[in-house]
Amino acid sequence: MIHEPVVLTVTQLNTYVKSQFEGDQNLANVFVTGEISNFTDQYRSGHLYFSLKDARCAVRAVMFARSAARLRFRPGDGMKVIARGRVSVYEVTGQYQLYVEDLQPDGLGALSLAFEQLKARLEKEGLFDAARKKPVPRFPERIGVITSPTGAAVHDILTILARRYPVARVVFCPVQVQGELAAPQIVGALERMNRLGCADTIIVGRGGGSLEDLWPFNEESVARAVAASEIPVISAVGHETDYTICDFAADLRAPTPSAAAELAVPDRMELLAAIRSQSLRMQSAANAKIEAAKSAFLPLTNSRAMKNPMEAVEIRRIQADTLAAGLGTAMRRKTDGAGQRLAALSGRLDALSPLSVLARGYAAVFSPSGKAVPSVREVEKDEKIRVRMRDGSLSCTVDSVKAGAADESKDDV
Distance CA 79, CA 324 (A): 116
Which pLDDT score, from 0 to 100, does residue 107 have? 65
Eight-state DSSP code of residue 266: -
Which pLDDT score, from 0 to 100, does residue 412 have? 47
For 354, residues 6+ apart whose C-beta sits below 8 A from its C-beta are 364
Backbone dihedral angles phi then psi of residue 65, each to the nearest 5 degrees: -60, -40
Q: Is the pLDDT of residue 191 over 90?
A: yes
Q: Which segment, 104-118, 178-192, 208-222, 238-252, is predicted with the most confidence on average?
A: 178-192
User: CB–CB of 365/384 below 8 Å?
Assistant: no
Which DSSP helix (H) or strand (E) runs through 413?
none
User: CB–CB of 128/122 below 8 Å?
Assistant: yes
Distance CA 341, CA 328 (A): 20
User: CB–CB of 223/191 below 8 Å?
Assistant: no
Distance CA 228, CA 231 (A): 9
111-125 confidence digits (pLDDT tens):
777 788 888 889 999
Angle between helices 220-228 and 182-196 (to 10 degrees): 10
Distance CA 9, CA 14 (A): 9
In terms of Cα–Cα distance, which of 133, 135, 178 is closest to 153? 178
Which pLDDT score, from 0 to 100, does residue 409 have? 40
Please state the pTM of the whole predicted model. 0.53
pLDDT over 90, % of the chain: 36
What is the three-class DSSP state of 22? Answer: helix
Distance CA 173, CA 219 (A): 19
- Determine how many CB atoms are found less than 10 A away from the CB of residue 151: 18
What is the three-class DSSP state of 210? Answer: coil
Q: What angle do CA 111, 117, 121 make, to 5 degrees?
A: 145
- Determine how many CB atoms are found less than 10 A away from the CB of residue 165: 19
- Determine how many CB atoms are found less than 10 A away from the CB of residue 246: 25
Q: Is the pLDDT of residue 50 over 60?
A: yes
67-88 confidence digits (pLDDT tens):
988 887 788 888 888 888 999 9
User: CB–CB of 111/117 below 8 Å?
Assistant: no
**What is the arithmetic mean of pLDDT over 184-212?**
92
Which pLDDT score, from 0 to 100, does residue 161 have? 94
Q: Is the pLDDT of residue 305 over 70?
A: no
pLDDT over 70, % of the chain: 92
Which pLDDT score, from 0 to 100, does residue 405 have? 55
Distance CA 367, CA 379 (A): 8
Q: Pick left, alpha or beta for residue 392 (phi over 0 → left; psi -120 to 50 → alpha; otherwise beta).
A: left
- Determine how many CB atoms are found less than 10 A away from the CB of residue 51: 19
Q: Which segment, 5-19, 86-100, 392-406, is predicted with the most confidence on average?
A: 86-100
